[in-house]
Amino acid sequence: MEIIKRTKIIDLLNTGTRLDGKVCVKGWVRTRRGNKHIAFIALNDGSTIHNIQIVVDIARFGEEFLKPVTTGACLCVNGLLVESQGQGQAAEIQAEEIEIYGTADPAVYPLQKKGHSLEFLREIAYLRPRTNTFGAIFRIRHHLAYAIHEYFNKQGFFYFHTPIITASDAEGAGSMFQVTTLDMDRLPKTEDGKVDYSSDFFGSATNLTVSGQLEGELGAMALGGIYTFGPTFRAENSNTPRHLAEFWMIEPEVAFFDIRDNMDLAEDFLKYVISYAMTHCKDDIEFLNKMYDNELIDRLNFVVNNQFIRLTYTEGIEILEKSGKKFEYPVYWGADLQSEHERFLVEDHFKCPVILTDYPKEIKSFYMKQNDDGKTVRGMDVLFPKIGEIIGGSEREADYQKLLNRVEELHMSLDSLWWYLDTRRFGTAPHAGFGLGFERLVLFISGMTNIRDVIPFPRTPKNVLF
């Protein structure tokens, strides 16, 4: 076979490629149709949602040779790029040489031509990136990750790497995965019968991080503005379409920001990355709009072009109470809002993204700045249509004594938090930050409805396949 430099399909289909030139493409067969004389192969290499059509003169290659060219097989094709005779594509390739890299026996290859359910595809998550849907989602995921770094870099924030293994509980919520090298069958014990972690790998009990925020604050108090972007782990037994046990979180933290600056940043940031995706993932978003959710593009446009509504938790509760709507979970001042409440405010009441602020301190984390009323803290949640909470954040308590009081009230361990409190002893400053759940963002932009479908290999209770 003649050696020609491979061209990606996205480059072939974009203008600039000379027609009537010889090209080499490599990819996986999506479909094969045709008759005794001619075969039309739709080839996809993952660079774009679009396939390139390969036209094969069967007599030239022989029926026997072409038999294993079925859905899923991987090919290398040399041929002439010509203007297409048929409809639906501008250019196609007249095959001159074909090498079959790998076959995919139709008797056992699970991905066949016609529509598989998302549930079925979840069971074969190791193959689903080869479908149009998941190709589109994972390309969008990539572009969003890139846009996030681009946004913060442009704004002068520094990417700050916070640890994955920690000895603290950043959210004080206790839903952590323990990390240990102790022998589970023969645990060393202290005199009072507790597990003796002094002989564990780190010499103390450790877990996977639930948030990089506490260490992020240390970065902000030195570099001014930082962001983290890393994996986060929560051992909550939440089997919902919006929770993962392993997800990626983006956490900016900024010195000298108050809650208003923080809300402005969150809104600007979300609009930037959504616009970025709409420009750079146009074909993929159009595909998802057509196949799954024909209001997707309108919704994305709406969010980018409208100001988010800002109101307090207390005002939100009043609206919910007055709505007369029957919720599964009761609404009262002090209640933690459920997704149904958040979505009512966003989808039914305001029909616009909402930023709720000033929550009761009992339902929020220990580090949030305490308001003068003694009841509420300066937290903020950004609520999105179809998603509910997409961002959670706050202005932080910068006063040493107030923070210490809260830590003690909640019986949190000073042994694992003393260094965090020290930031308030040494050059403390007002500061604020938030966390964006990356998969919730991808969920919103892709129009998917289950968070398991926007991460390549989801981790949820009782599921750790692949």
Site residues (vs ligand 4AD, CB under 6 A): 170-171, 211, 213, 234, 243-244, 247, 249, 251, 389-394, 433-435, 437, 439-440
Interface with Mg ion (CB under 5 A), residue from 172, 385, 392, 437: 392
Which CB atom, from 53 or from 213, has the smaller least distance to ligand 4AD? 213
- Give residues with Cβ within 8 angstroms of 26, minimum separation 6: 6, 45, 74, 75, 76, 77, 101
Q: Beta-carbon neighbour count of residue 234 at 10 Å?
A: 22
Please report how close the Cβ of residue 272 comes to ligand 4AD at its closest, in angstroms.
17
Q: Which stretch binds Mg ion (CB under 5 A): 153-161, 190-198, 392-400, 454-462?
A: 392-400
Site string for Mg ion, 61-90 (x = CB under 5 A): ------------------------------
Look at residue 27 and give the partner it binds from Mg ion, ligand 4AD, none, a contact being a CB closer than 5 to 8 Å depending on partner kind: none
Residues 23, 29, 32, 36, Cα dihedral to 10°: 60
User: Phi and psi dihedrals of 357, rounded to 5?
Assistant: -130, 170
One-letter-per-residue 3-state SS of 361-428: HHHCCCCECECCCCCEEEEEEEEECCCEEEEEEEEECCCHHHHHHHHHHCCCCHHHCHHHHHCCCCCC
Q: What count of other Cβ atoms lies within 10 Å of the Cβ of residue 119? A: 10
Sole residue written with tokens 């639906």: 88
Task: Give the one entry of Mg ion, ligand 4AD, none that residue 211 binds, where binding means its C-beta sits below a cut-off of 5 to 8 angstroms depending on kind.
Answer: ligand 4AD
**Helices marked H in 132-205:** 132-154
Of 206, 203, 208, residue with least CA distance to 164: 208
Contact range with Mg ion by CB under 5 A, out of 44-52, 127-135, 332-340, 389-397: 389-397
Q: How far is the CB of 171 from Mg ion (least distance, A)?
A: 8
What type of residue sits at position 253? Answer: E
Q: How far is the CB of 332 from Mg ion (least distance, A)?
A: 19
- Residue among 68 and 231 whose Cβ is closer to ligand 4AD: 231
Helix (H) or strand (E) holding 98: strand 91-102
Nearer to Mg ion, 392 or 433 (CB): 392
CB of 270 to ligand 4AD, least distance (A): 11
End-to-end C-alpha distance for the chain, whole angstroms: 36
Which residues sit opposite 391 in a β-bridge? 382, 436
Report if residue 172 touches Mg ion, rule: CB under 5 A. no
Residue 244 interacts, among ligand 4AD, Mg ion, none and using kind-specific CB cut-offs from 5 to 8 Å, with: ligand 4AD
**With CB under 5 A as the contact rule, which of the stretches 25-33, 38-46, 384-392, 417-425 interacts with Mg ion?**
384-392
Please give the structure tokens belonging to residue 175.
């839903």
CB atoms within 10 A of CB 40: 15
Nearer to Mg ion, 197 or 444 (CB): 444
Give the nearer residue to ligand 4AD in terms of CB position, either 98 or 137. Answer: 137
Q: Which is nearer to ligand 4AD, 103 or 338 (CB)?
A: 338
Is residue 164 within 8 A of residue 150, CB to CB? The reply is: no
> How many helices, marked H, and strands, marked E, lie in the chain?
14, 16
Among Mg ion, ligand 4AD, none, partner that 433 touches (CB below 5 to 8 angstroms by kind): ligand 4AD
The span of 199-207, 224-232, 283-291, 390-398 binding Mg ion (CB under 5 A) equals 390-398
What is the x/- site pattern for Mg ion, positions 342-381, by CB under 5 A?
----------------------------------------
Return the number of the residue (28 or 434) whose C-beta is nearest ligand 4AD: 434
The CB-of-338 to Mg ion minimum distance in angstroms stands at: 12
Write down the least CB distance from residue 392 to Mg ion, Å. Answer: 3
**Residue closer to ligand 4AD, measured from CB, 72 or 172:** 172
Secondary structure (3-state) at 159: strand
Q: In what order do the strands lie in the sheet with 165-166?
A: 165-166, 206-208, 178-179
What, of Mg ion, ligand 4AD, none, does residue 243 touch, CB below 5 to 8 Å by kind? ligand 4AD
Cβ atoms within 10 Å of 345's Cβ, excluding its own: 24
* Crossing angle of helices 296-305 and 259-280, rounded to 10°: 140
Task: With contacts defined by CB under 5 A, name the span among 7-15, 191-199, 272-280, 386-394 that binds Mg ion.
Answer: 386-394
Q: Which residues bind Mg ion (CB under 5 A)?
A: 392
